[in-house]
Structure 1
Amino acid sequence: MSERIKNFDKTDFKIIKELSKDARMPAAKIAANTGINERTIRRRLNHLVDSGAVRITTIVAPDMFGYHSIADINLKVDPEVYDSFVEDCKNNPNVCYIASGWGKANLAIETRFLNNEEMYDFINATLPQIEGVEVVNFFIIPKIIYNIDEWLPVESDFKD
């Protein structure tokens, strides 16, 4: 079992919890909400971002743009085409997540489409035509219940 890395403390945890409520929250408001000095908040926030522990980014809601058809697709991709296929996926506006894996499938992608017909064509026509790429299985996702942008580490992940 992996050991938890505790490079961050309870002050960092408080800052992260406040940012999870509103990533645009000013340091002054975080300071007021937590009772921590504003200068400390700024310094710690810079450290969290610079270390890569936190990314301040925009999260787009695909459904607000009409992308309601979602599929998670597990693929077996031959080593000879793996890197180029991954690059193609990165450049495909319908692919929003790519992860390598172990087992029968060695690549997982999450896709979003404007409608089921586009999704069907991608899974059943586009992917099978690509040399060295095999669809192992796929899951149509009618509803996302909990997403990565809602996840937070637990307080015990932070040292006192």
Structure 2
Amino acid sequence: MVSVEIIDHLDKGIIKLLSKDGRMSFTEIANRLNVTEKTVRSRYNNLVENNILEVVGVVNPISLGVKVGAIIQISVVPPNMNHTIQQLRDITGIRFITLTSGEYQLLVQANVRDYEEITEIVKSIHQLPGINKTNVILQMDVYKNSFEYI
């Protein structure tokens, strides 16, 4: 894997432009960065091959009827951690799982169509072995959801 130090100003420029518009052509990127299309194509391929960049389509969840979001903090008995994470991955509606520090070892984000589905997800979580407690935080509105890291 390529280290971050190897990513130069040009690579960062390509990443930044694609973060704003993943469908931008290599020609347009080349014009904006004052390099050749061949250079952009080569750099792009290198970024993808080294797992630095992945261009995907991002869906507007509201257009699919996914209007309710929640952050769920989960306290887990340590010996059950890996098993719990695997089971959480299988719950439909959970789109993000991370290990955190503090009182709650896991944080998950769920996005679903309605509050009944959030209730079902929370019930499913409570049925998992090793769950001590949860804290459910409903997302009222989203003001920023960025894919820009550079």
Moved more, 84-93 or 67-76: 84-93
* C-alpha separation in 2, matches of 1:107 and 1:45: 34
User: 5 Å matches for 1:55-70?
Assistant: 55-70=54-69
Tell me what 1:114 maps to. Answer: 113
1:148 Cα shift? Answer: 4.1
* C-alpha separation in 2, matches of 1:64 and 1:56: 21
Give the TM-score taking structure 2 as reference length: 0.87
Tell me what 1:99 maps to. Answer: 98
The 3-state SS of whatever aligns with 1:103 is coil
Corresponding residue pairs, total: 148
Tell me what 1:15 maps to. Answer: 14
Give the TM-score taking structure 1 as reference length: 0.82
Contact 1:73 1:135 in 2 (8 A): no
Contact 2:76 2:132 in 1 (8 A): yes
Q: 1:131 aligns with which of 129, 141, 144?
A: 129
Q: 2:149 aligns with which of 127, 141, 152?
A: 152
The 3-state SS of whatever aligns with 2:116 is helix
Say what the alpha-carbon RMSD is for the aligned residues. 1.9
Q: Which runs of 5+ in 1 are unaligned?
A: 154-160
Query: Is 1:86 matched with 2:85?
Result: yes
* C-alpha separation in 2, matches of 1:126 and 1:23: 36
Letter in 2 for 1:10: H
Change (3 A) 1:68 1:77: same
Identity, % of aligned pairs? 24
* C-alpha separation in 1, matches of 2:89 and 2:28: 37
Deviations 1:27-64 (A, max 9, x none): 12211222111111011111212222211112222222
Change (3 A) 1:148 1:52: farther
Change (3 A) 1:148 1:79: farther
